[in-house]
Amino acid sequence: MALCVFAILFFPSCQKEISYSNEGGNNTDTSALGKFIKATGITDAALKADLDSLIIRARNHGWWDLCKVIYPFAGGTQTSCKYNLKDPRDVDAAFRINFIANTWTFTSSSVNPGDSSYGNTHFNPSIQIADPNSCHLSVYSMDDNPGGNDNADIGAYDHNTATGFYLSARTAWPDSSGRPFAQISSYTMQGTLVNGAGYFLLTKTSAFNASFYRNSSVIQTDTAATPGDLPNLDLFLCNQNYPYGGEPYNIGFSQRRLSFATIGSGIDNTTATLMYSDISDFVNRK
């Protein structure tokens, strides 16, 4: 017995490998974490634990199943940051990001598009979201950069049908104020505070209820939002997919670092508050 104790104390390599599960009994779906870690090549133990905690909290707080896409932008490399936590396969159908152009940089906390880069999520909301009146986009922006005059942090706009699904934390469209702006279908919303840094959530939970959040606060909501379709276009990251303006849309670059992004079904007010808490905690630990 004494020999065994000696071995455990002085030969850590003999100990059982650490498990990144919740000891409180609410264990995460280890396959989700395991597949993501395998795809990204992440080795940092603290980051693995933080990802595990994020998945647990997302499940417990009800927003995991409402997301089709979760980009944690973790690991600090182009390879690790491209994967969708919900489906970390290296294929377009899993909505892994193609980072386009050469001004991208990657750190442990964020992805930075620089002056003129953007990404293709391969997520087409017209196809992938069953109910256009239950949908959301969210990003965690690390900067207050103004970006291009008609920039977007994520989304697309179809000129032919006048339908959009995009948000910008700070833009000069439709005026020069620099306030946050968002569109779902044909319905538009604009915030009041000029500050492009923080967590921004655009969500629609019914045909007549849309809200736009910064952090945990609603910056605009309306119960007269009109029903309508979503654009039949792939959503871009750090620009908007706007074919009428060309690709890339030369005044659409956001130029803001992003630390997190999600796409999926509608988020109610209670879940939005929990979602902000969970995501901001993860972002601040990176």
pLDDT (tens digit per residue) in 100-140:
999 999 999 999 999 999 999 999 999 999 999 999 999 99
Write the single-letter amino acid at 72: P
Q: What angle do CA 101, 103, 104 make, to 5 degrees?
A: 90
Q: Quote the pLDDT of residue 164.
A: 97
The β-bridge partners of 190 are: 181
pLDDT tens, position by position, 146-190: 999 999 999 999 999 999 999 999 999 999 999 999 999 999 999
Label residue 13 exposed, middle or buried (CB < 10 Å: 0-12, 13-18, 19+): exposed
Domains contained in the chain, number:
1
| Residue 95 burial (CB count, 10 A) | 25
pLDDT value at residue 28: 45
The answer to whether residue 86 is domain-embedded is: yes
Residue 93 included in any domain: yes
Q: Is residue 213 part of a domain?
A: yes
On whether residue 128 sits in a domain, the answer given is: yes
228, part of any domain: yes
Question: What residues does 156 pair with on adjacent strands?
Answer: 165, 241
Domain residues for 195? 34-285
In a domain, 226, yes or no: yes
Question: What is the rounded CA–CA span in Å between residue 94 and residue 96?
Answer: 6
Residue owning tokens 């000069």? 172
Global pTM reads: 0.90
Is residue 256 a part of any domain in this protein? yes
Q: Is residue 8 scored above 50 in pLDDT?
A: no
> Does residue 2 lie within any of the structural domains?
no
> What CATH code is carried by the domain that includes residue 240?
2.60.120
